[in-house]
Structure 1
Amino acid sequence: RTENPPVCHSLTLFFLGFTHRTCKSHLDSIREEYEQRHRRGFVTQPRAKNSPPVCRLESKSFYERHVEALSRRTSQPPATTLKAFRTAWDEFSKEKTIISLMSSIPWPPFCDKIESTTQCSSADLRIEAVLKFVDYSVRSLRQLQIEWHPDRFSARFSSRLSTEIKDFVLPKVLAISQLLNSALEMLRRRNSQIS
């Protein structure tokens, strides 16, 4: 004989379809998935005997690069004069070799990174650095403007630039040209205010 279960019993049957799990946060499931992925990765990549752990090699490489970057950052290069820059630029212009490194181009000294301060923006400091470099001379600034014009630079050196650095050099040349244009405009404004 089949009897209809009471109402409370039918609710119990309804909830029997849901299994009770212990409370887990979403982060626990992410952690477990992460551990599973990395556990499998370490098993499939056997390490040769007597080889140092990869993390030590990466750490050592990172440390060496970090020390090198800090030494470059803290050691102030000697201030380049306009005359010394012109000499380096003339030598560079006469060479016919392929340019494969950005550092082989004699960049003007005012291209270094200048931080902004509370008083001046980085652009103002950079323009002031350009003006000091040319000793507030319109003629010297105009000569730099001609040498660093993007079209002229491309015409003279584009064939010598390696393909790896060409996409980095030409935008930098454009930025230098724009900086020189701004500096010349500011110098002319200052000279007109003095006169």
Structure 2
Amino acid sequence: MSATTHDLTAMIASRICHDLISPLGAISNGVELLQLTMAPPLPPELQLIADSIRSANARTLFLRLAFGIAGEGQLMGQAELSALVSAWAEGGRIRIDWQPGAPCSRSKARRACLALLCLEAALPQGGVIRVSDDGRMWRFRAEGRRVRLPPELWHMLTEPQCEIELSPGRIQFALLRGDLLEGAGLAAGRIDEEAIELLVP
């Protein structure tokens, strides 16, 4: 079997997320049992643990799709994808306005998740991201009190020639760029101090 570095990275991410989901699920089940056996009012510490486990589980599932293997033959319904994204964003500084569309390939869903991670990095003080799919490409509009994205990161998504030294917290830009270059081409759009519009094939 031969695999590119990109494929191996995705396999590693899938394996790590897969191995994390099982113990997170076990902890979540244990917390639920404690909640059922305890008389109200439940201690706030237990609710904090329950909320944290739910958030960790949702984020792990989201990251497995964003960073993991995405088979071309696998389809995802928009309801499933919307629920996954909403759970990832719940309780965070970003609100997602997801417009329903047709089922899409898992690889296309992966690009949407990577784009959301890129836009999240551009909204340090939070905001709203509106997402729609017209069948040909994803359309994103991100708005917030402060939109900040270094030009070199924007160029990673939109320009054929771009060289940048990335930190681990910005790896989503490199992964999305790689997916786009292997697919229908780079993204397009515009960015200013108030909003980002991003079109992802």
TM-score normalised by L of structure 2: 0.25
TM-score normalised by L of structure 1: 0.25
Structure (1/2) with the larger helix percentage: 1
Task: Name the larger-Rg structure.
Answer: 1
